[in-house]
């Protein structure tokens, strides 16, 4: 039986964190190509360091983006984040582009041909998770960690808190009793700030944001409220630490509350099951919990490169289910085509909707009018109930 009383911690990083800058640039390039060709193939990796932006990877598109368009899109992403610093500036940073044509060997395995359906873009395992401890059906620690930083960024960009700079991290620890979060025991926020701001002043600027996000859970004890524990955080972003695409996969998903298959999302078009199948697994897990089949649901999918069907579907309710997991494993296959093509069609993923996913989590967001975050819908509830005969 799962533990009922414990402390659990998750962390988040802001859109200005060096790795998140890279995720944002990579996903911006994905969007650029998908806007030109909905079936474009993109695998874009980004490196950033002091006034340097470097792109590498593989692309294939019926209407390729020009080198000028790629550079303009990358610089615009950095500008939107807010970097106009001496050590990292959207206009002055040196830009290098090493994107090249996709490997013919990979294309052969993925493309549909004759009686062969489109295959998965790679082998791997993907996990989806949902839990009914928040309205978003997300684990509370990662949800609140994201919300703290998202609100800080909104205040910075609006001009209400010009003291903040783009780079920031958060960490939230909650106490669980009877399996539910009941109180916050510690919070850590480290935020880059303007030169000359005293540490005590930064602390007081952060305090009301944290209090609002935590709401009825309440603030942690004063001695467990840590803001910029090292005292000063002026040099940050890629100037303070090099960034790479795909290094914040636990931040991107469930904050450690569920397993992760290991594949990053950002920079990949939706033929890559690292991304699309992880979205499908979250979509299915969320609908399973919304249907009332369990309080917690974990779904694992597995794929082989070039093979269209999933090799396995696994469901775990952690002892909270009202029906047998095997029954739901069968129902899942009935209500959704889990081939790469089927996932992309069902969730309408061949669109430029990915730059917005690069910070503050790929899950727990509101579905958007243009189809962004379509995997957060709960429109499979009735179909699942019918397939499970419940």
Domain locations in the chain as residue ranges: 5-14+140-236, 18-110, 124-132+247-253+272-388
Q: What is the mean pLDDT of residues 77-89?
A: 98
Mean pLDDT of the 295-311 span: 94
Tell me, yes or no, if 294 is annotated catalytic: no
| Residues annotated within a binding site for ATP | 17, 167-169, 232-233, 241, 247-248, 264, 268
User: Which residues does residue 45 pair with via DSSP β-bridges, in sequence order?
Assistant: 56
Q: Is 193 in a helix, a strand, or coil?
A: strand
Q: Is 86 a catalytic residue?
A: no
Tell me, yes or no, if 95 is annotated catalytic. Answer: no
pLDDT at 339 over 70: yes
Annotated binding-site members: 17, 19, 45, 58, 102, 167-169, 232-233, 241, 247-248, 264, 268, 272
The better pLDDT of the pair 45, 107 is held by: 45
105 carries an active-site annotation: no
Domain 18-110 coded CATH 3.30.300.10: yes
Residue 66: the pLDDT is 96
241 is catalytic: yes
The topology under which CATH files domain 5-14+140-236 is GMP Synthetase; Chain A, domain 3 (3.30.300)
Catalogue the long-range contacts made by 202-207 (C-beta closer than 8 Å, 24 or more residues apart).
202/163, 202/227, 202/228, 203/227, 203/228, 205/161, 205/163, 205/164, 206/152
Q: Can 37 be counted among the known catalytic residues?
A: no
Q: What is the pLDDT of residue 120?
A: 79
> What is the pLDDT at residue 51?
98
Q: Any catalytic annotation for residue 274? A: yes
> Of residues 19, 31, 239, 295, which has the active-site annotation?
19
Q: Give the CA distances from residue 244 to residues 17, 24, 53, 262, 300, in Å, rounded to whole numbers and listed in that order.
A: 10, 11, 10, 15, 27
Question: Is 378 exposed, middle or buried, given 0-12, 13-18 or 19+ CB atoms closer than 10 A?
Answer: middle
Q: How many CB atoms lie within 10 A of CB 108?
A: 11
Any catalytic annotation for residue 258?
Answer: no
Q: How confident is the model at residue 108 (pLDDT cuts 50, 70, 90)?
A: low
- pLDDT of 156 > 80? The answer is yes
- Residue 71: strand, helix, or coil: helix
Topology (CATH level 3) of domain 124-132+247-253+272-388 = GMP Synthetase; Chain A, domain 3 (3.30.300)
Q: Single out the catalytic residue among 27, 31, 37, 274.
A: 274
**Quick check: is 222 catalytic?**
no
Binding-site annotation, residues for L-methionine: 58, 102, 241, 272
Residue written as tokens 């890279």? 22
pLDDT exceeds cutoff 70 at 378: yes
- Domain 18-110 and domain 124-132+247-253+272-388, same fold? Reply is yes
Confidence of residue 104 (pLDDT cuts 50, 70, 90): low
17 catalytic, yes or no?
yes
**Has 194 been annotated as catalytic?**
no
Residues in the annotated binding site for Mg(2+) = 19
Between 263 and 118, where is the model more confident? 263
Q: Is residue 112 scored above 60 in pLDDT?
A: no
**How far, in Å, CA of 25 to CA of 239, rounded?**
16
Of residues 11, 17, 133, 355, which has the active-site annotation?
17
Q: How many CB atoms lie within 10 A of CB 216?
A: 6
Residue 225 annotated among the catalytic residues of the structure: no
pTM over 0.75: yes
């Amino acid at each position: 039986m799962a533990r009922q009383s414990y402390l659990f911690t998750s962390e988040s990083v802001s859109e200005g964190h060096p790795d998140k800058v890279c995720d944002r640039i990579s996903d911006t390039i994905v969007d650029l190509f998908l806007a030109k060709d909905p079936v474009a193939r993109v695998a874009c990796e980004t490196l950033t360091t002091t006034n340097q932006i470097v792109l590498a990877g593989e692309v294939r598109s019926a209407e390729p983006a020009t080198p000028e368009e790629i550079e303009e899109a990358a610089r615009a992403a950095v500008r939107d984040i807010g970097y106009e610093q001496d050590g990292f500036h959207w206009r002055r940073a040196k830009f290098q582009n090493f994107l090249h044509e996709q490997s013919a060997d990979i294309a052969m395995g993925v493309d549909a041909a004759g009686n062969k359906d489109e295959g998965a873009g790679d082998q791997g395992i993907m996990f989806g998770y949902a839990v009914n401890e928040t309205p978003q059906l997300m684990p509370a620690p990662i949800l609140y960690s994201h919300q703290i930083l998202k609100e800080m960024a909104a205040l910075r960009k609006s001009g209400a808190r010009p003291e903040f700079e783009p780079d920031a991290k958060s960490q939230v620890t909650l106490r669980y009793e009877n399996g539910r979060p009941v109180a916050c025991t510690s919070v850590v926020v480290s935020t880059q700030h303007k030169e000359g701001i005293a540490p005590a002043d930064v602390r007081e600027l952060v305090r009301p944001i944290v209090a609002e996000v935590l709401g009825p859970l309440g603030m942690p004890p004063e001695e467990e409220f840590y803001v910029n524990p090292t005292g000063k955080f002026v040099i940050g972003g890629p100037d303070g630490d090099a960034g790479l695409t795909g290094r914040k996969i636990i931040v991107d998903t469930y904050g450690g509350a569920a397993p992760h298959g290991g594949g990053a999302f950002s920079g990949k078009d939706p033929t890559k099951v690292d991304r699309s199948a992880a979205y499908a697994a979250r979509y299915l897990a969320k609908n399973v919990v919304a249907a009332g089949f369990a309080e917690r649901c974990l779904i694992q999918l597995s794929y082989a490169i070039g093979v269209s069907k999933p090799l396995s579907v696994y469901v775990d309710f952690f002892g909270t289910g009202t029906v047998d997991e095997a029954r739901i494993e069968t129902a899942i296959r009935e209500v959704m085509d889990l081939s790469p093509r089927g996932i992309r069609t069902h969730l309408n993923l061949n669109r430029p909707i990915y730059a917005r996913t690069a910070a503050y989590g790929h899950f727990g967001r509101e579905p958007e009018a243009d189809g962004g975050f379509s995997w957060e819908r709960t429109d499979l509830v009735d179909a699942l109930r019918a397939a499970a005969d419940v």
